[in-house]
Amino acid sequence: MRQQGPPRHSLDNTSWLRRFRLPTQPLLRHLILALCGAGILYLVTSSLSPYNDYEIGEIALYVIALAGLSLLTGMNGQISLGNGAFMAVGAYTMALLMTHTQMNFIVELLAAIGAAAAMGLVIGIPATRLKGPYLAGMTLLFALALPPIADKWSTTFGGDQGLTTTVPNAPGNINPEEWLAWIQIIGALITLVLLANLIQSRFGRSFRAVRDDEIAASVAGIHVGRTKVLAFVISAGCAGLAGGFLGLSTGVVNTGEFPLTLSIQLLAAMVLGGTGSLMGMWWGAVLLVYLSQWSTSLSGYFNLGSGASAYLATIIFGVVLIVVMIAAPTGIQGGLRWTWRRILGLLFRQPAVIHPASGLPDDRVPIYQSDER
């Protein structure tokens, strides 16, 4: 009527790759993706050494923490410097239950999630009233306050030694590293499926609406405060599970495993992977695991003290962050998506899709579809 629509394009006929489509029903769609991911990871873990399997398990656990952070920052526009501390809450909860009770392993993990989420609620209710740097400051304060508490009640929390954790016995003759890695991978895949479903629901839309404009969101009937607290609690719960898994990987839970730099590195890795993306968190987690390994060997090479080597990891992270942000401002996932579109365009010589308002080809318009995951 008033305006003419964008010209119809014929992508669907020219490219067989585009004809293959995933279902739009969230559960089906994300289960299919998760099964594909599980297949790839199965090939990887079964062909690598046990030590590499251990590392892949670590990557998977960081994916969980990063996905929660990506939801919080990318979808809801909040910044947390406290997610390392939420990991500690989850890890200690699980380890305490392991030392004092004989609960089912799954129940212990759920308790880790629950405790961190509850802590997220306590911090989140006042913190979500704050914006930008104040919110970051409050979460930072939480991250700073937690280790002294664990040190103060050292009989409960095990002091410097910490608490030991035990991985449930591997069934059959699977080697323990591969078994642990698969526990963590399955945890990561389930988390990703749940979060991807949520993002595609009315709650995901509320998150993004609140991120973009709080006034317009509340006029639209969205409870802004509740929405922000929900996002905060979910990200804390994810960190709790990741913390429990980290406790399993290291075998002990002590404050040294959760330094302040962990929270900062999580934030940097999330930005590297692609803020707001879930798939991108795999790249972020890979960097998180391998960059700190490289920095450890680098500081060994230069004979740096242990204090300096901890900062070296952060410095290397910072440098990589700057480089990636210059090359791909939307993170690694954003850069890959852009490249993939280019390749498809070259291969199939798609007719340029013209953006209706600007008259530019669609891929020249910064983003024209809603947040892609």
Partner 1 sequence: MIAIEPEPHAPAKSEGKALLIEGLSVGFGGLLALDQVSLTAFQRETVGVIGPNGAGKTTLFNIICGFVGADSGQVSYGGISLLERHHPHDLTKLGIARTLQGVGLFAGLTLLENVMAGAQAGLRSDIASAFLGLWRSSREERRLALRARELLDELGVGAYARYLPAALPFAVQKSAALARALIAEPSLLLLDEPASGLSNDEMDELATMIRGLRSRMGILLVEHHMDLVMSVCDRIVVLDFGRVIADGTPESVRSNPEVATAYLGDEIDKSSGHSQAFDDA
The one among 12, 151, 212, 372 contacting partner 1 by CB under 8 A: 212
CA–CA distance, 322 with 339 (Å, rounded to integer): 20
Considering the rule CB under 8 A, would residue 5 count as an interface residue with partner 1? Answer: yes
- Give me 256's structure tokens: 């040294």
Considering the rule CB under 8 A, would residue 211 count as an interface residue with partner 1? Answer: yes
Please work out, in degrees rounded to the nearest 5, the angle formed at the alpha carbon of residue 344 by the alpha carbons of 338 and 349: 125
Determine how many CB atoms are found less than 10 A away from the CB of residue 264. 18
Of 140-148, 161-169, 343-351, 358-366, the segment contacting partner 1 by CB under 8 A is 358-366
CA-CA distances (angstroms) from residue 302 to 172, 310, 312, 321? Answer: 44, 13, 11, 23
- The helix (H) or strand (E) run that includes residue 207 is helix 202-212
In sequence order, which ranges of 128-164 are alpha helices (DSSP H)? 132-152, 154-157
Q: Provide the β-strand partners of residue 3.
A: none
Of 41-49, 103-111, 124-132, 351-359, the segment contacting partner 1 by CB under 8 A is 351-359
Window 81-120: residues binding partner 1 (CB under 8 A): none
- Cβ contact 324:336 at 8 Å: no
CA–CA distance, 33 with 262 (Å, rounded to integer): 29
Of 28-36, 121-129, 178-186, 344-352, the segment contacting partner 1 by CB under 8 A is 28-36
Considering the rule CB under 8 A, would residue 358 count as an interface residue with partner 1? Answer: yes
Considering the rule CB under 8 A, would residue 201 count as an interface residue with partner 1? Answer: yes
Considering the rule CB under 8 A, would residue 3 count as an interface residue with partner 1? Answer: yes
Q: Minimum CB separation from partner 1 for residue 358, in Å?
A: 6
The one among 79, 109, 113, 198 contacting partner 1 by CB under 8 A: 198
Of 108-116, 135-143, 167-175, 355-363, the segment contacting partner 1 by CB under 8 A is 355-363
Q: Which chain residues interact with partner 1 by CB under 8 A?
A: 1-6, 24-30, 193-194, 196-198, 200-206, 208-209, 211-213, 215-224, 230, 355-358, 365-371
